[in-house]
Structure 1
Amino acid sequence: MENRPNVNVAAIGPEEVPVIDLSGDIDERIVEEVGNACKEWGFFQVINHGVPLHLLEAMKETSKEFFDQPMDEKKAAKRDEVNPVGYHDGEHTKNVRDWKEVYDFLIDDSTLIPASPDPDCQELRTITNPWPENPSQFRVVCQEYAREMEKLAFKLMEIICLSLGLPGGRLKGYFEEQTSFLRINHYPPCPFSDLTLGCGRHKDFDFLTVLAQDDVGGLEVKRNGKWVPVKPDPTALIINVGDICQVCF
């Protein structure tokens, strides 16, 4: 997938990312639709997903307030070599600089991670969310949003297991001590070139990505050699099946 800033996606064409209604209990229809979307696309949108729409709107508003601040304010919550969460504006995808700013945070305020990338490393270190002072409601909104997103992710994991003929809780034990984090992306207007990408083509390495897209659009999914724009829907959330999910099965 990749993200192109300021793209008009009003006319999508005959191919569209599947939209799945999650209202009600998990039933055969939901399991079949999610299973087919995972196999045929690796992407789908969900509506009636249970995440309050007022919370999605609050998250968009407080995120905009954060990124609209002067750089000094944002850099007060900047990540560093010791703490890999917080504000960052120098990310690369496939060795190409992205045109974006991000703020990463953990679902839990602090967590233990290996002290080095060495797979044999037994030493742990603590990383902690560097919350900014402003906007004042930023931390509260982010934490509430994170809990709702995690709840939805576990529900989707259950549905995916059922679509494969497995018990719904088959993978739950593997995620009891997992480290989930959320990212807020900001794609500012770019004055240089229409070819500049907010984020270049890539795959997500995690199990599942749950993404809220604003009304500007720009996200595209590659299917059968063709880039397909994901039509923005303020009531929907986009689901991306990550590499870990595919490796598991």
Structure 2
Amino acid sequence: MNRSGEVCQEYTQEMVKLAYKLMELVALSLGLPADRFHGFFKDQTSYIRLNHYNPYPSPSPHLALGLGIHQDSGVLTILNKDDVGGLEVKRKTDGEWVRVKSTPDAYIINIGDTTQVWTNDEYESVEHRVVVNSERERFSIAFFLHASSYTMVEPLEELTSEQNPAKNRAYSWGKFIAHKKWSDFQKLSVENVQISHLTDFRISK
């Protein structure tokens, strides 16, 4: 393995450690044992992605998307980026797109759909996109924490009750990922296959 491969492997290992810590904080915030989520990652399917966005000189550069509208399907995403802005999140109150401010030496953490389901909507994933810059190229490294492929994703029993019933039905993480990858080579009616596209996924709003 060359040095660049070693660096990526070392970086991924450190991201896994950080992601575990973040999930421990999520668990504690919900009154659960810190290690409540650890069992879902025995054979995790996590990975990193290196992103490069070319500049796009245009009369309307804010309309040029480097990455289309989507929600992260996994557990959480840890984003390391340069000082060139571009990430935007959709505000749920009015549907407006809000630019995420670039903070030096800081990560951006996105909650994924899997965590939203596990926590029975106590934590929510949000729609986001990346808009390219008209003058400067942009680089980022995204680490995606994913559960084991054989995981059945469903609201945790401790977070559901008669007064707070499950808001989403269980689904197979492995089957969803397989369907998502298959969809990359198909012409579908949706731009990016999401958990919400699963049949009868949502029980209540």
* TM-score range normalised by the length of the shorter chain: 0.5 to 0.7
Q: Name the structure 1 match of 2:113.
A: 243
Aligned AA (2:21): K
Give how far 1:190 is off. Answer: 2.2
Q: Name the structure 1 match of 2:67.
A: 199
Aligned AA (1:141): V
Contact 1:206 1:242 in 2 (8 A): yes
Question: SS state of the match for residue 143, structure 1?
Answer: helix
- Structural mapping, 1:135-174, within 5 Å: 137-174=3-40
For 1:173 and 1:214, how far apart are their aligned partners in 2? 33
Q: Percent identity?
A: 57
Q: C-alpha offsets along residues 17-67 of structure 1, whole Å, 9 cap, x if unaligned?
A: xxxxxxxxxxxxxxxxxxxxxxxxxxxxxxxxxxxxxxxxxxxxxxxxxxx
Aligned AA (2:11): Y
Q: Name the structure 1 match of 2:103.
A: 233
For 1:161 and 1:235, how far apart are their aligned partners in 2? 26
Q: Structure 1: 5+ residue runs without aligned partners?
A: 1-130
The list of structure 1 runs, each at least 4 consecutive aligned residues, that deviate by more than 6 angstroms after superposition, is: none
Aligned with residue 214 of structure 1, among 59, 82, 88: 82
Q: Name the structure 2 match of 1:105.
A: none
Contact 1:213 1:234 in 2 (8 A): no
* TM-score scaled by length of structure 2: 0.53
Question: SS state of the match for residue 36, structure 2?
Answer: coil
- Structural mapping, 1:63-74, within 5 Å: none
For 2:70 and 2:40, how far apart are their aligned partners in 1? 25
RMSD: 1.5
Q: Structure 2: 5+ residue runs without aligned partners?
A: 120-205
Give how far 1:191 is off. Answer: 4.4
Contact 1:213 1:233 in 2 (8 A): no
Q: How many residues align?
A: 115
Q: C-alpha offsets along residues 57-96 of structure 1, whole Å, 9 cap, x if unaligned?
A: xxxxxxxxxxxxxxxxxxxxxxxxxxxxxxxxxxxxxxxx
Give how far 1:226 is off. Answer: 2.2
* TM-score scaled by length of structure 1: 0.44
Aligned AA (2:55): P
